[in-house]
Amino acid sequence: MFIDIDDIKESVLSRSYSKTFNDFPVLEEMVNAGECDFISPIDIKLNVKRNINVIEVTGNIETKARIQCGRCVEKYETFIGPAFSLTFVPEEGEDPDGLLDDEIELSTDDMQVVNFSGGMIELKDSVQEQLILAFPVKPLCRESCKGLCSNCGANLNDMKCDCENEYINPQFAALKNLKIDK
């Protein structure tokens, strides 16, 4: 996912890609570690605009993943579709025109800045990062998920157990599902 900045002419350059998790090392690690599965391709749409040596990239990523509910520890499917804006600026010493300082002040107030070198923008790491940031911090299979009984581990979405203790501690419940390797 490289873009040669010399390919960005006066108008906006549009690119789209369809990737899989194998194309992104950290996503592959997450899948191998059982943290998530990707159940559709990772579709990426980018618009790239060049302002002298400052390159602005706006994009959308869309995919579907299967992740674990933080309460009941069941896997569920969720749509992940972050939109993002990134500003790429040449690495120090790669601004032959010396125009960079003015440009940055104009455009990067609320944008994330990434360095590039050799006249090429590499988008894989940035796309991967944006996708990971879009994963829910507190994944829930549904708003009303009742979680697991902290006493017997029953999934209270499926059944009502006979325990008196109604307090749900998802961390404790999750521990019950851990297998210990010897």
Q: Write out the residues near Zn ion by the rule CB under 5 A.
A: 69, 71-72, 141, 145, 149, 151-152, 154, 161, 163
Q: Which of 45, 70, 74, 50 lies closest to 60, judged by CA? A: 45
CB of 27 to Zn ion, least distance (A): 23
CB of 93 to Zn ion, least distance (A): 52
Q: Distance (Å, rounded) from C-alpha 162 to C-alpha 132?
A: 39
Residue with tokens 């509910």: 69
Residue 32 or residue 144: which is nearer to Zn ion going by CB? 144
CB of 18 to Zn ion, least distance (A): 30
Residue 108 or residue 151: which is nearer to Zn ion going by CB? 151
- The distance of Cα 166 from the centroid of its chain, to the nearest Å, equals 35
CB of 157 to Zn ion, least distance (A): 6
Element (H, E) at 173: helix 170-176
Residue 132 or residue 163: which is nearer to Zn ion going by CB? 163
Q: Which of 151, 176, 181, 144 lies closest to 166, judged by CA? A: 151
> Would you state the structure tokens that stand for residue 27, as one six-digit string?
């996503």
Contact 86, 111 (CB under 8 A): yes
Residue 52 or residue 66: which is nearer to Zn ion going by CB? 66
CB of 146 to Zn ion, least distance (A): 8
Q: For the stretch 66-81, what's the b/e string if a residue is b when 16 or more beta carbons lie within 10 angstroms of its beta carbon?
A: ebbbbbbbeeeebebe
Residue 9 or residue 138: which is nearer to Zn ion going by CB? 138
